[in-house]
Structure 1
Amino acid sequence: MKDLGTSKEFLKSKEVEKETVGEGVQRQIMGYDDKILLAKVEFEKGGVGPMHEHHHSQVTYVVSGKFELTIGDETKMMEGGDSFYIPPHKMHGAICKEKGILIDVFSPIREDFF
């Protein structure tokens, strides 16, 4: 694994570049070191996080909006104030039903985001 260093200690959302990662989906990497990464993901209504899996543990906080979230064989509607945990290698994905923001935390760091 290549050394990606660490992020700055203070990050202002206005100053962090947004990356388009799908139609109606933008991501900002808001802090990381070699063990953990936090990303802010903004979804427009209808935006999709396609079904996928990865070796990282993931915890996500729903800041706002409504999301149809699938983890494994289970699907639930999640909204602002909710959170969810995704174990390593578990298939998961989301469909945004009402414009919103997710805060994703990954351990270890998502090398594929760089």
Structure 2
Amino acid sequence: MENSTAGWTFADSAAIEWNDVGPGIAMKMLGGADGRVIAMFKFDAGFVGGVHDHSDAEFTYVLDGSIVSNGVLMEAGHSYAVGAGTTHSEFRTETGCTVISVFPMPG
């Protein structure tokens, strides 16, 4: 059987530039398929995110540093999955952190 890469996207995160997406946030878009994307985010020390609702599921894995998400301290190796219809009322990092997230493709 021969392997096929049709429909696949491969990325080398080391070869992708960081893009500033807001004060204290940089992003690397790693790929997308079927209405979802996978991206790496870097948050500067002291970053505090705004309250927002999730209209769809989101998945996040902490690569380094630490964050507090909805009152839960998360460090490297920790993850969260959040369902549609939830509110992200707290997202902050005192140390700075890097995460990988999977979420709906921006409109």
Question: Which segment drifts farther, 82-91 or 27-36?
Answer: 27-36
What does residue range 14-93 of structure 1 map to in structure 2 within 5 Å?
A: 14-70=14-70, 75-92=71-88, 93=90
Aligned Cα root-mean-square deviation (Å): 1.9
C-alpha spacing 1:53/1:103, structure 2 compared with 1 (3 Å): same
Which residue identity is paired with 2:86? K
CA displacement, residues 50-86 of structure 1 (integer Å, 9 cap, x when unaligned): 211132201110111111111xxxx111111100111
Partners in 2 of 1:8 and 1:16 — Cα distance?
17
Partners in 2 of 1:45 and 1:55 — Cα distance?
27
Shift of 1:8: 7.0
Whether the 8 Å contact between 2:56 and 2:85 is mirrored in structure 1 is yes
SS at match of 2:34: coil
Partners in 2 of 1:111 and 1:44 — Cα distance?
23
TM-score, normalised relative to structure 2: 0.80
TM-score, normalised relative to structure 1: 0.76
Whether the 8 Å contact between 1:23 and 1:48 is mirrored in structure 2 is no
Partners in 2 of 1:28 and 1:50 — Cα distance?
21
CA displacement, residues 28-64 of structure 1 (integer Å, 9 cap, x when unaligned): 1111112321110001101233211132201110111
Gap regions ≥5 residues in structure 2: 1-6
SS at match of 1:45: coil
Which residue identity is paired with 2:26? Q
Gap regions ≥5 residues in structure 1: 1-6
Instruction: Select the structure of larger CA radius of gyration.
Output: 2
1:101 — aligned with what?
98
